[in-house]
Every structure is written in C-alpha cells, then in structure tokens.
Amino acid sequence: MSDSGQPPPPAAEPGGSKWAKPGCVTLRCREDGPLVVELPDAADGTAAGFRVIDHQGAEFRLPDGKRAIALCRCGQSAKRPFCDGAHRAVGFRSNELAEGS
C-alpha cells in the first residue's frame, strides 16, 4: 500500500506510464489537478495519435509525438482546454475515487 492507503500502481508498460494498459486509452483523474489522457502503443509499436476538437469541430494544435495531455478541470487555465497549473494557485480540490477504491 502507498502512503494514501491505495494499492501501488501496476508495473509500467512498454512506452507508457505506470498506469498504461496495452490497447487502452487511459484517462487519469489527478488529485487536485487535471485529467490526464494517455495513449497506448499502436499495434505496430508506435504511439497512437489523438486529436482534441472544439465544439465547432476545429482542432486544437498539439505538440508532435505527445503520448499524454493534461486537460483543465479547475476552469482557470489560460490555455483551456489544457492545464497550465492554475489549479495550484486557485486552490482547486478534487479527489474522486473509483468505486471500491
């Protein structure tokens, strides 16, 4: 168990974080922080791609080769929909846990 009383995360998968699961997009709710979206490896071993689209269908520019992005949950980021760390300055709190955690 970790300091928070939660079981430790699974071992890291090739090319991904410790939370990655082969063939599965991971959406992680960070305590008091953003939603982190992480892509799995593609079938050919490369990183799969993803897009973020606004309500009118226009695509946000993302850095090339990025495996993960952080999406703002506090509403205060100057780079919405992406996180810029503003949640720390505004004291955003959120600690949802999955049922059974």
pLDDT digits over 10-53, tens only?
443 445 677 767 778 889 999 999 999 988 876 676 666 778 99
Cα distance between residue 37 and residue 39, in whole Å: 7
For the domain 9-96, what is the CATH superfamily, name and number?
CDGSH iron-sulfur domain, mitoNEET-type (3.40.5.90)
User: Does residue 45 come out as left (phi exceeding 0), alpha (psi in the -120 to 50 range) or beta?
Assistant: left
Extract the tokens encoding 82: 């992406």
pLDDT confidence tier of residue 3, bands split at 50, 70 and 90: very low
pTM: 0.73
The domains of the chain are located at 9-96
pLDDT of residue 1: 38
pLDDT of residue 2: 38
Q: CA separation (Å) from 2 to 5, 6, 84? A: 5, 5, 27
